[in-house]
Structure 1
Amino acid sequence: MKASVRLILIFIVSGVVTTLLLSWIIEWYKYQNRLVPVESVQELYEDVIRITENVYPSEKRLEIVKQIRSAYKDLNTYSKRRFLPIEVFKIVQPLVSIVGDQNFRFAPPVEPVYSVLPFTVTVIDGRVIVTTSAVESIDAGDEILKINDRSVSELIELLLPFTCGENYQIREQQLVQLFQLIPEILDRKRHSVGIFYKQKEYNVTVKSSKGENEEKEVVVKTLTAMSYPRESSQYPALPTRYPFEFTREGDVGVFKFGTFSLSGTTYNSYREFLSNSFIHNRDLKYVLLDLRGVTSRDFNIFKEFFEHFVDRKTVVERYISIINTAYNVGILEKYGVDFKQTTDELLRIKFEHVFEPRDPVIKSDVWILFDRYTSNAALDFIYTFKKLYKNRTIGEPTLMTINHTTELSSQFDDKAKLSMIFPSAIISEDVASGTVLEPDYRIEISTQERIEYIKGESDYMYTKALEVVKSKKIKE
C-alpha cells in the first residue's frame, strides 16, 4: 500500500515537474524568437538614413542626416547582441525624433506579454488625465500627479525623446501610449523568462475627479497588454468621439467628425450617413462642421461632404513639393510628373482640388470649427475652404503648420516588430515657414476648459462657436 502511494506521488510530482519544464521551454523558445539581432537594428538605422536622405521632402535633409549620424551610438558599444523590440524602439526612435516631424516616427511596439499600467491617459498642457482604468482605485477623469515618487513633469521629460514633432504640444499628444508602457520603457531593468506573469506594484498619486478633488495615493499592479482591454471594459471610461454624427440646433445643422478613413465598410456607412442627413434636413440655413481634433489623412472625407454645398464645378489650386527621385515615382505620377531620372531636386508642383456638385445639393452657409489639434487632410480642407469663403471659420490656431508633410507611407520591420511612418511630400503654399492655420473668429480656451471637454462635462468652444454663427445669422 505504501509503495503504491509512493509511486502515485512520484508519478504526480514527475508530471508536475515535466509540465512546468515543458512550459518553461516553450516560454524560453518564444522569448528567443522575440529577440532582434544587432544586424537588424543596424539595418533599421540605415533605413532611417536612406529615407531621410532620399525621400524626406526638405531642403535641409542632408543636414538632418548629419545630425542623426552624430547622435547614433555604435551598436558595438552595447554588451548585448540581441534586443527585445521595445529596446530596439528605445534605440532608433530618438534618432528619428531629431527630424522634428510628427509624420516621421516609429510606433511603439506592444506585445501581448508587455507589462502596462492599469490605466490609460491623455496629456493636456502637461496635465495627465485618466481616460480608461482597469482598477477600482483610479477612475476615468482622475488626474495623475506622481508615479513611484516621480512627478508627472519628470515622467514627461523622460518620455519626450521617444516622441516626434515640431514643438512640445505636438509631442505631448504621442505620450498617450508611452505612459501606459512606463513599466517597459522606463522601469524594465532586465528581462527574464517565466511561466507565470509577475505583477509589479506602483504607487500612484492621483487627484480625484469626484467630490472635493482631493489627492490620494493608491497602490496598483501592472497588467499584461493582452489582458488590459478585458479588465478595463468592466469600468466606466471617458466619452470618445464617433467617426461622424449629426445634430440640429434650430436651423443650424451640426456635423461632428472624428478621425477615420474611408476603408472597408466605412465608406458605405459614411455615404449613407451624409445622404440621410441631407435628405431629411434640406431646409437647413446654416451648417457647422466640427473638425476639432481630427487628424484624418484622407482628403476625400471632406471633399465628399463639401460637394453637397457647391452648385457648380469648383476648382482650387494648391501646391506640393516632392523630391525628384526614383524612390518617389508613384507619388510623382500621382501629381502628374513624368519621371525620367533622379535629380534629387525638391520639385514644387501645382495640383487642383476639384469639387463637383453632389446630390442632394444643400443651399446652406457652411461654417467650420477647428482647434489646435486639427491636422493633416482636415487642415488642408479648411485651408482650401478659406480660399473660397471669407469669415467662415471659428476656433484656435493649429499646432500643425499649413506647409506640413503629407503623402505618408509605412514600413513594417517583421524582425523588430516596429512600424515606421514617413512622408514623401510637403504642402508648399506661398506662406512663410512655420505659418499655422488661423481661424477668422478666434476662441480663447483654458487648460481647464480643455479638460472639461475631454471629460464630457462641458464644451466651451462649441458653445462659443454656436454663438458666433447665430450672431452672424441675426445680422444678415
Structure 2
Amino acid sequence: MGKTLKISVILFLISFIFSSLIFATKIEPEKLQRDFEFIITLLKEAYIDPNGLVKNPEFTELVDDVRRKLNKPMDSFEFFKAVSPIFHYLNDYHCSIELPISNDSQIFPMTLYVIDNNIYVVFSLVEDVPIKSKVLAIDGIPSAQIIKEFEQYTITKDNSSRKEHEISRYINLIPTFWNKKSVEIEFEYNGSIKRKNIKAITMKEYRRKVQESKKSKLPYEFERKGNIGILRIGSFEIKGNLFVDFREFLNKVFRENKDMTDLVVDIRRNFGGKPQSVIEVLGHFVNKELSVKRRVKVKNSKYNIQALAGIGVRYDTNTEGKVIEATYSWVIPPRSPVFNGRVWVLIDNGIASAAITFVDIVQSHGIGRIIGERPIYSSHFTMGGINHYLPNAKIYVYIPAAITSYSSPNRIVPDYELTITTEERLERLTGVSDPVLEKVIKIIKNK
C-alpha cells in the first residue's frame, strides 16, 4: 500500500476515535433549545468573530430558522444536523460543533473521497469495488447532489482540499446520516459502469479490519530517494505519548541521514494541529535560537479567561466585549542534529492553521522554499478558544476567543507554484503513485 494512503486512512481513524458517544435517546425540545441558546450566547459574547458575521441580519435570520426546527424531540445527531448551518455560515475552520459519533456508528467498509467535485474510492475493504472507482450515484442520488447536500455541514466554504476532506468524512458516514444499513452504489471503473449493494459496518469493526490488514500507520513517516529525503507529516495534531515518539522519530531521521543534500517536508492535506509539533520540526532547521513575533487579538469575556491568561491579561468585567491586542514571540530553539541541507516544503491549497504557520515561518525566515499549490488560507486565523459542553445534546462546541497572525496576513505564494490535476490527486490518495512528488524531485535535481 502507498505511504500517502496509509496516512489518509489513519487520519480518518484518528478523527473518528476521539469523537464522543452518540445518544439515540430523543431529547426534549426545551432542552435542545437551552443548548442552542447557549451556543448563540457564546458566539455573541466569546467568539472573536473576525468578519463581523454574528452582527449581520442574515445571521439573525439563520438563528431564527434553526430555533423553529428545534420544536420537536431530537437525538444528538439530529441536533448536530439542525445546528451545523450556523457554523457553516461563519466559515471559520476553527469554530465548530462536534459530530456525535461512536464505535457503533455506521460507516462504509471503504473510504470515499471528494476530489474536484467528484467522489472516488480511495480505499476499499470490498473486493468488487476497486480503488480509483468513480462513484456516480448512491441509492440513485447523483454524486453532485450528494456533495451539495453535505456542504451544509462543513465549517468552510472555500473550495480547497480541506473542504473536500470535511465532505468526504460525512459522505463515509452516509449510513448514519441516512439511517440505512445498506445502500446501492453505482460506480464507474475502467469505462464500465456497475452497481453494488454495500452493507454498512460499525466504526469499531472498520478499525479492526483496517488494523488486521496492516494498512493503518502513523501520520508521519520518512523515506529516501537518493540524496533527497521525504518527510511526510499528515497532521501536526500530535500530542501525549505520540509526541514523544514523534520527537524521537525526528531525531532518528536526522541522525541517520546526515548525508542528505535536500529534504522535502510534505504537508499536503495537513490541516493543522499543535504549535509544539511545528516548533519541534523547525528546531532541526535552525542553528541558533529563532524568535518569531506573533500578533494576537483576544476578546475580553468571562468565557475567555484561559485565552486572556495566555497573553498575560486578566479578565476585566469593566471592559466586557473589548478586543485586547498583544504581541509576543514563539521561541524556536535548535535541536540536534540540525539539518544544514536545502529544505523544500510541499503544500496544497488546503493546508491550514499550524500547517500555514509552519510554511509562513519557513518562507519568511529563509529556512527553505515552498513548492506546490497556492494555499486558500493565510497566516491570519482564529485560535485560543475552548471546548464548551452542551449538557443536553452531550456534545461540545469549540468557540475561538482570539485571532492571530505572523509575518503577514496575506496568503502565501509558493516559490514554485504547481497546478495539480484531478488524476494526480487521485493517484496520490489511492497510494498508486505520487506524480506531484515526482515533479518536485525533478525540480530539486535541476536546481
After TM superposition, the structure 1 = structure 2 runs for residues 76-87 of structure 1, keeping only pairs within 5 Å, are 81-87=72-78
Asked if structure 2 preserves the Cα contact closer than 8 Å seen for 1:123 and 1:173, the reply is yes
CA distance in 2, matches of 1:414, 1:135: 39
SS of equivalent residue, structure 1 residue 254: strand
1:172-211 deviations in whole A, cap 9, x for unaligned?
32112321333443x45xxxxxxxxxx7442211122xxx
2:431 to 443, 456, 459: 456
Q: 1:217 aligns with which of 173, 195, 199?
A: 195
Q: State the distance in 2 between where 1:370 and 1:43 align.
A: 42
Q: Give the letter aligned to residue 199 of structure 2.
A: K
Change (3 A) 1:390 1:252: same
Equivalent pair of 1:391/1:441 in contact (CA under 8 Å): no
**CA displacement at 1:333 relative to structure 2:** 2.1
Alignment of 1:143-292 (within 5 A): 143-169=134-160, 170-185=162-177, 187-188=178-179, 200-208=181-189, 212-230=190-208, 242-292=218-268
Calculate the aligned-residue CA RMSD, in Å: 2.9
The answer to whether the 8 Å contact 2:84/2:154 transfers is yes
- Equivalent residue in structure 2 for 1:124, among 86, 95, 115: 115
- Deviation of 1:161 after TM superposition, in Å, equals 1.1
SS for the counterpart of 2:401 is strand
Distance 1:75 1:459 in 2: 44
Q: 2:271 aligns with which of 295, 300, 303?
A: 295
> Paired residue for 2:418?
443
SS in structure 2 opposite 1:354?
Answer: strand
Letter of the 1:457 counterpart: V
SS at match of 1:321: strand
Gap runs ≥5 in structure 2: 1-21
Which string of whole-angstrom CA distances, capped at 9 and with x for unpartnered residues, describes residues 300-338 of structure 1?
112122222222222222212221223222212212335
2:395 — aligned with what?
A: 418
Offset at residue 140 of structure 1 (A): 3.5
Contact in 2 for aligned 1:58/1:346 (Cα 8 Å)? no
Normalised to the residue count of structure 1, the TM-score between the two structures is 0.80
Residue of structure 2 in register with 1:379 after alignment: 356
Which deviates more from structure 2 when the two are superposed, residues 157-166 or residues 136-145? 136-145
Q: Contact (CA 8 Å) 1:57, 1:425: kept in 2 or not?
A: yes
> Residues of 2 paired with 1:62 and 1:287: CA distance?
42
Matched, 1:93 2:84: yes
Q: Residue deviations 1:341-386, cap 9 Å, x none?
A: 4342223321212222222233223221111122111111110121
* Equivalent-residue separation in structure 2 for 1:77 and 1:143 (angstroms): 39
Q: Is the 8 A contact 1:102 1:166 kept in 2?
A: no
Return the alpha-carbon distance in structure 2 between the equivalents of residues 248 and 436 of structure 1.
Answer: 31
For residues 138 and 310 of structure 1, the distance between their equivalents in structure 2, rounded to whole angstroms, comes to 48
| Contact 1:159/1:178 (<8 A) preserved | yes
Q: Output aligned runs, 1:96-115, within 5 Å.
A: 96-115=87-106
TM-fit CA distance, 1:230: 4.5
Structure 1: give runs of 5+ residues left out of the alignment. 1-30, 189-198
SS of 1:108's equivalent in the other structure is coil
Equivalent residues of 1:48, 1:96 under 8 A apart:
no
The secondary structure found in structure 2 opposite 1:34 is coil
Residue matched to 2:334 = 357
Change (3 A) 1:218 1:436: same
Question: In structure 1, what is the Cα distance between the partners aligned to 2:355 and 2:435?
Answer: 21
AA matched with 2:141: R
Larger relative CO (CA 8 A, sep 6+): 1 or 2? 2
Question: Which residue in 1 is equivalent to 2:294?
Answer: 318
Shift of residue 388 of structure 1? 0.8
Q: 2:31 aligns with which of 4, 25, 40?
A: 40
1:246 positional shift: 2.0
CA deviation vs aligned residue, 1:234-290 (integer Å, no higher than 9, x gap)? 7x79x6674222222333332211215342211221121122222222233332211
Change over 3 Å in CA distance of 1:314–1:447 after alignment to 2: same
Q: Give yes or no for contact 2:364–2:407 (8 Å, CA) kept in 1.
A: no
Whether the 8 Å CA contact 2:88–2:157 is kept in 1: the answer is no
- Secondary structure (helix, strand or coil) at the match of 1:300 reads helix
- Counterpart residue identity of residue 155, structure 1: I
Tell me the percent identity: 25
CA distance in 2, matches of 1:250, 1:224: 43
- Matched residues in 2 for 1:133 and 1:64: separation? 45
Equivalent pair of 1:396/1:442 in contact (CA under 8 Å): yes
Cα offset for 1:297? Answer: 1.7
Is 1:137 the counterpart of 2:128? The answer is yes
The reply to whether residue 400 of structure 1 matches residue 364 of structure 2 is no
Bigger Rg over Cα: 1
1:253 alignment partner AA = G
Partner amino acid for 2:433?
Answer: S
1:419 Cα offset (Å): 3.0
Distance in 1, Cα, partners of 2:71 & 2:374: 47
* Contact 2:24/2:76 (8 A) holds in 1: no
1:112 CA displacement: 4.9
TM-score (norm 2): 0.85
CA distance in 2, matches of 1:364, 1:78: 58
Cα deviation 1:98-138 (Å, max 9, x = unaligned): 11112212232224554444433111111112234443432
The amino acid that maps onto 1:407 is: G
Shift of 1:154: 0.6
Equivalent of 2:282 in 306, 319, 328:
306
Q: 1:132 to 1:468 in 2, by over 3 A?
A: closer
Q: 1:111 to 1:414 in 2, by over 3 A?
A: farther
Contact 2:371 2:416 in 1 (8 A): yes
Query: Secondary structure in 1 aligned to 2:446?
Result: helix
- Give the deviation of 1:431 after TM superposition: 4.7
Q: Secondary structure at the match of 2:41?
A: helix
For residue 441 of structure 1, report the CA deviation from its aligned partner: 0.8
Distance in structure 2 (CA, Å) of the matches to 1:33 and 1:202: 21
C-alpha distance after superposition, 1:140-189 (max 9, x if no partner): 4322110122100011111111111141434332112321333443x45x
